[in-house]
Structure 1
């Protein structure tokens, strides 16, 4: 065969193929591009409930999804564990920095007491309350066009630490539960109530009850500020509740007062929870600004889950979901196909054998993902163990975790449901309003960062590592892991945390679940994102193991 005779026709063919590709660029395979997080273009100021990551960093990272730069106070003004924040300095900082902000998210507990833990112990007599009320009036007068979005937390029923004695504290809790049942119109053991009242010292009982009375008066003054137009919105949260307790009596009084003041339900809101409130209020503000009310389809892992009351909660899972969806300005829908996202609530309890349905739950989630449904997964455990959660099975079945719109399994049901609902709403609303493909990519990247932050902390740390770390600390002589001496052992404690979590990260980021690409469908076009790598920065923010500071940096490529 004369191969030279074939060269000329081949060259001609290649020439015309090149011309075809030049005139049809879409036919060429798309090149991968690195995706950066969203660039904030809106400003909002935050006075956080306290310095812990759920109260501050979650709001910063959640805000970034929707393009908010969240301004937070300097560390020297912030509380640090049992040391309260500088309330006078915090008020001055807020007044000096509120100019140019779209809104202010304000923790009343931080401005009055110096943080949540301080609010549990400190007293605020009428003169101190009036000084704060006058400050808020002046803040509004100086900035009449900036919405003041305030939140205040009802005291938990656990007695103050200054009430000493194991038996007396135990008796006060029993007394609170009986008084709560009595106020709800339920039959109680009157003999037991009389015994408790006789056993509790008058001084301790008076101090305990005065704490709720003081808080009730404070919140009534704040409600009046809403009626005056000083506060644009007020959210009253309930910290670590139970179904029947004295805090519920205060809450009933406040609800009656709100009705008497004839305030719209969206102006003053009672909810359960504390740490997640600032994030949910940010989502609500963003939705209001964009005239967006997310349609949320709620589904559960087990028929018993809607009626399940999880630890530290006063209400069941279904009512908690109702509250958090309403708080962000959303509405529930019975049509999954019409939903902006699906809120999948899992709350497993091995004592009730709900874990036996986990394989079915994985199949349900796989089906939803295959249908292209956005899913916000709340992955709770009654006993705070990995064996009751869904994530390990999802990883084992190679479920594409980057397809999740949100994930949360932190601490209480109100914390987790509020966090998942808020971030899914921020993401959904932001994508609907994205002005370019680049912005849509940035929104997705910011959301993926928040997603992996939650997976690493809520599952790998809180369900896998915290017990091991606590056990190691106790073997080293620490009997109270909620009061560590990090001043002298910070390096050792953090090194133990980092080594343990890096092992999880190494396995996680090489799993098929993590590496699986996911197709995103947005108004600015479709694209596929793959998370190629993930690094993490983490440490103990306070001298205890209850929570960690954790920030991931995902390396994301788009096609």
Structure 2
């Protein structure tokens, strides 16, 4: 399969490669020199040329529209490319389908976010000064739209909206809203391509969602066009971003093999599936249904089906990045319930994939350490607990689905499946929930910043983290040798890349 990734980070490159490998498939990607490098956009036109060149040699394609149109995720928020330029690049998909009508092309396009922060690393530089105000502006415009549509009671929002607009530089507002309009036009164009089946499926996803936000309002407009347009290819819209390429790899494996993975869903807490996770705007039950559908999998109630176990979100919506989490008896009880559910299911001979959604940006140490202590962690078919609930759900479903497809086709790579499981346990639990909070406390104390700016600091962190993660790896998988090639692709602690050694089937 050909993959045009969302950007160069491991979750958008290494994760889809690993998902494909589980089923015995190979991914081909654009050359590194064409890809983005943090804020340096990828070479969008050359990536389009590459896709046209490899298309006759592959069985399917997965395309990130933000990369094809703008050169990557950050580029879609920061470049000055016109809508005419972006749409002309997207015409490559239409031309590709015309010349290779039997080539399955799956695509994902993002609704532009407006993060509630003053961090400009992934945004226009004015985010450092007015990022939170622009986030609030989108929320107020959304509410104003609903009031004018008589879908929400007038609560005096208009005065706050006008005051905020008056306080902001008109040039900044114009730049921000014109970027949103441009990207919205790209999404509308992709709906047209889905209607004519140039792509199928099309996923329109959004990260950092909120009940009221500029992106949430855009989803209302997009949803209306999804309803109005004649049925063509399948279109799904839901929260997500970095997991989507892995999900679409699983979807294309389903398309090519004719094998649809099946899952039953279980949660140890009675109200768990009805909760809404941090950074998302719909229930976990809805999120599960969307991720299964996006991957081509089916939800069943069969007594012998693989079980997708949901470790339900924390009602307090805590986050390993922003909160110093101390665990109480409620947390311990929740972890114990999920661990007992997994033990029972495994004891019945069921395959179990675990979506560890209790906390944002890291797995639940209480749960994972319970599973390790009882010899259950490595009996899972898949695990995920990173970043948002959507990220975790998508990666878990994709990995477990790829294994089911590979098993049915006789192409399952047991070693790849085991490496994927151990990698996610090590990254999502050991790094994100254990090692990274300790690292950030050291950075706060010694440097008063979490940026890797001091001379030699990043190299020192890589060396220390190699030792820390190797020690943690031995608790997860005692037979594994170690961790090598640790790096931080965006020169911050949020993303880490590494290679496992001594891991076999």
TM-score, length of structure 1 as denominator length:
0.80
Residue 64 of structure 1: aligned partner: 21
Residue 526 of structure 1: aligned partner: none
1:338 deviates by: 4.2
Return the alpha-carbon distance in structure 1 between the equivalents of residues 250 and 363 of structure 2: 30
Q: Please, which of 521, 527, 536 is the counterpart of residue 483 of structure 2? A: 536
> What is the aligned-residue RMSD (CA, Å)?
2.5
Secondary structure in structure 2 of the residue aligned to 1:99: helix
Distance 1:111-1:534 versus aligned 2 partners, 3 A rule: same
Return the alpha-carbon distance in structure 1 between the equivalents of residues 361 and 107 of structure 2: 31
Does structure 1 retain, via aligned residues, the 8 Å contact 2:263–2:297? yes
Alignment of 1:242-321 (within 5 A): 242-264=210-232, 267-321=234-288
Distance 1:505-1:46 versus aligned 2 partners, 3 A rule: same
Residue 444 of structure 1: aligned partner: 414
1:493 deviates by: 2.5
Which of the two has higher C-alpha Rg?
1
Distance 1:321-1:116 versus aligned 2 partners, 3 A rule: same
Does structure 2 retain, via aligned residues, the 8 Å contact 1:305–1:347? yes
1:149 deviates by: 1.8
Does structure 2 retain, via aligned residues, the 8 Å contact 1:380–1:389? no
Distance 1:68-1:387 versus aligned 2 partners, 3 A rule: closer
Return the alpha-carbon distance in structure 1 between the equivalents of residues 102 and 336 of structure 2: 52
Return the alpha-carbon distance in structure 2 between the equivalents of residues 263 and 399 of structure 1: 49
Return the alpha-carbon distance in structure 2 between the equivalents of residues 189 and 81 of structure 1: 41
TM-score, length of structure 2 as denominator length:
0.88
Does structure 1 retain, via aligned residues, the 8 Å contact 2:12–2:243? yes
Distance 1:165-1:260 versus aligned 2 partners, 3 A rule: closer
Residue 87 of structure 2: aligned partner: 130
Residue 473 of structure 2: aligned partner: 505
Return the alpha-carbon distance in structure 1 between the equivalents of residues 455 and 100 of structure 2: 42
Secondary structure in structure 2 of the residue aligned to 1:69: coil
Distance 1:271-1:498 versus aligned 2 partners, 3 A rule: same
Residue 424 of structure 1: aligned partner: 400
Return the alpha-carbon distance in structure 1 between the equivalents of residues 236 and 170 of structure 2: 34
User: Structure 2: which 5+ residue stretches go unaligned?
Assistant: 319-327
Return the alpha-carbon distance in structure 2 between the equivalents of residues 212 and 68 of structure 1: 37
Does structure 1 retain, via aligned residues, the 8 Å contact 2:356–2:363? no
1:554 deviates by: 4.5
Q: Please state if 1:461 is matched with 2:431.
A: yes
Worse overlay, 366-375 or 501-510: 501-510
Return the alpha-carbon distance in structure 2 between the equivalents of residues 171 and 500 of structure 1: 40
Distance 1:488-1:50 versus aligned 2 partners, 3 A rule: same
1:384 deviates by: 4.7
Provide, for residues 505-546 of structure 1, a one-character-per-residue CA deviation record: whole Å limited to 9, x for no partner.
Answer: 233333xxxxxxxxxxxxxxxxxxxxx434333322221110
Secondary structure in structure 1 of the residue aligned to 2:110: strand
Return the alpha-carbon distance in structure 2 between the equivalents of residues 383 and 121 of structure 1: 26
Return the alpha-carbon distance in structure 1 between the equivalents of residues 261 and 65 of structure 2: 28
Secondary structure in structure 2 of the residue aligned to 1:73: coil
Structure number with the higher strand fraction is 1
Distance 1:162-1:395 versus aligned 2 partners, 3 A rule: same
Alignment of 1:70-81 (within 5 A): 70-81=27-38
Q: Please state if 1:144 is matched with 2:101.
A: yes
Secondary structure in structure 2 of the residue aligned to 1:390: helix
1:289 deviates by: 2.5
Q: Please, which of 184, 206, 222 is the counterpart of residue 190 of structure 2? A: 222
Q: Please state if 1:346 is matched with 2:318.
A: no
Alignment of 1:303-382 (within 5 A): 303-335=270-302, 337-349=303-315, 353-382=330-359
Q: Please state if 1:195 is matched with 2:163.
A: yes
Secondary structure in structure 1 of the residue aligned to 2:242: coil
Does structure 2 retain, via aligned residues, the 8 Å contact 1:349–1:382? no
Q: Please, which of 161, 167, 173 is the counterpart of residue 135 of structure 2? A: 173
1:488 deviates by: 5.0
Does structure 2 retain, via aligned residues, the 8 Å contact 1:296–1:343? no
Q: Please state if 1:545 is matched with 2:502.
A: no
Report the count of equivalent residues: 482
1:78 deviates by: 1.3
